[in-house]
Structure 1
Amino acid sequence: MTNKIKPISFVPRFFGAFGQFIKYMASGDYAARCQAISEGKQFAFEVEPTVITKEVEVIREVEVAAPILDTVNADGAHQLLQLLQQEARFIDFIQESIDDYSDADVGAASRQIHAGCSKVLKQHFTIDAVSTSVVNTAVENSRVEVPSGYDAKQIKLEGKVEGDGPYAGTLIHPGWKVTETRLPKVTNTESLTILAPAEVEV
């Protein structure tokens, strides 16, 4: 948008002409600018800006949606909850509010629960680090290279991801995968929803 310039009256023009004459005679640069204006040329600040367009590579973030199961085997989930309750009283701990307990009390209880949960996992599952089979290490904060065409279900790239790989980065978590399951077989699944029976002392 161009601002409209207000005309200058005769008297200011009369006195200003002498000042401009002196500057014109004293400075070759000033005289050149005056000459350029008289020829209708524009200064740099008057020229319309040049718009430069450039194609840039789009940086994408890889996000993998959570798997959606067509069917759910509730029996196995109930069985695992039963085992965690039997060995670690896991359900008791989760269902009870710990707001009124001190950190020391919670810490003491957590040791027993940790031991019981660990026993269940080691006895009924074999769990390995995902990164061991993909990038050959499970050591966190180590530098690794993720190959092109990696399995997005096994590796989640954090941050900005450019191109198709390979990628170099820092392992922040090795991931976990179940390689063997040894849950005990049951013939009657009707009782699996009872995670722990009510206990009555008589």
Structure 2
Amino acid sequence: MTDKMKPVSFIPRFFGAFGQFFKYIASGDYAARCQAAGQGQLFAFEAEPKVITETVEVIREIEVAALVLDSVNADGAHQLLQLLQQEARFIDFIQESIDDYSDADVGAASRQIHSGCAKVIKQHFTIDVVNAATENSRVEVPADYDAKQIKLEGRVEGKGPYAGTLIHPGWKVTETRLPKVSNTDSLTVLAPAEVEV
């Protein structure tokens, strides 16, 4: 609530009336405002503020819950590491510091490791894209999309469907062909120690 304005004494009112008289005569807009005030209408600074409401879409951040497993079978992971070590010496490369090597040396080693890793993946897995569209093309994402297979980037507004640019097609395993083993006791040994005698 605004404070009540302080009354003006007689002398300022007397001289002010002359000024207001000439202003009233000279300006039709000013005269109209004076008449409105005389009829009890509020001045702009006295009027209640106009409240403007606007509906705003909420930007949702979609979080995919991490998988919770009752038990973990590490045998398959150990077996895959064994295969990568056998074909590409993957563990040797990861465990060794490459800080002292030149980019050319690292690049030459990486070419061999890439070849070996690619061989293991092709032999033991069938991998396909999640979305077969061309990268950087426009794609449609339905409202009921699987958040594990599609990750929306940028401003996610509303409930969908969505349209956007495919940044990466994603990968998924459609078939696994790891060798069957009868004894899993030695799977934690990724590579035996080699001793020349």
Query: Could you state the TM-score of these two structures normalised by the residue count of structure 2?
Result: 0.86
The one-letter code of the counterpart of 2:26 is A
Q: Which residue of 1 aligns with 2:137?
A: 142
Q: Which runs of 5+ in 1 are unaligned?
A: none
Aligned partner of 1:173 in structure 2 is 168
1:46 alignment partner, SS class: coil
Larger proportion of helix: 1
Q: Aligned to 1:158, what secondary structure does the other structure show? A: coil
Asked if the contact 1:61–1:161 (Cα under 8 Å) also holds between the matched residues in 2, the reply is: no
- Aligned positions of 1:175-190 closer than 5 A: 175-190=170-185
CA drift at 1:195: 0.7
User: Higher mean Cα deviation, 26-35 or 122-131?
Assistant: 26-35
**1:9-55 Cα shifts (integer Å, max 9, x gaps):** 44433322221121122222222222222333113343111224455
Q: Give the aligned CA root-mean-square deviation in angstroms.
A: 2.3
Letter in 2 for 1:162: G
- Structure-2 change in CA distance of 1:93 and 1:53 (3 Å): same
Q: Please say if 1:84 is aligned against 2:84.
A: yes
**CA separation of 1:70 and 1:161: change in aligned 2, threshold 3 A:** farther
Q: Which residue of 2 aligns with 1:152?
A: 147
Structure 2: how far apart are the matches of 1:191 and 1:19? Answer: 105
Deviation at 1:170, TM superposition (A): 1.8
**DSSP-derived class of the 1:168 partner:** strand
Would the alpha carbon gap of residues 179 and 41 (structure 1) be closer, same or farther in structure 2, given more than 3 Å must change?
A: same
Does the aligned pair in 1 maintain the 2:60–2:157 contact within 8 Å? yes
Match of 2:122 in 1: 122
Structure 2, unmatched stretches of 5+, are: none
Aligned length: 196
C-alpha distance after superposition, 1:92-128 (max 9, x if no partner): 1111222222222222211111111101101111111
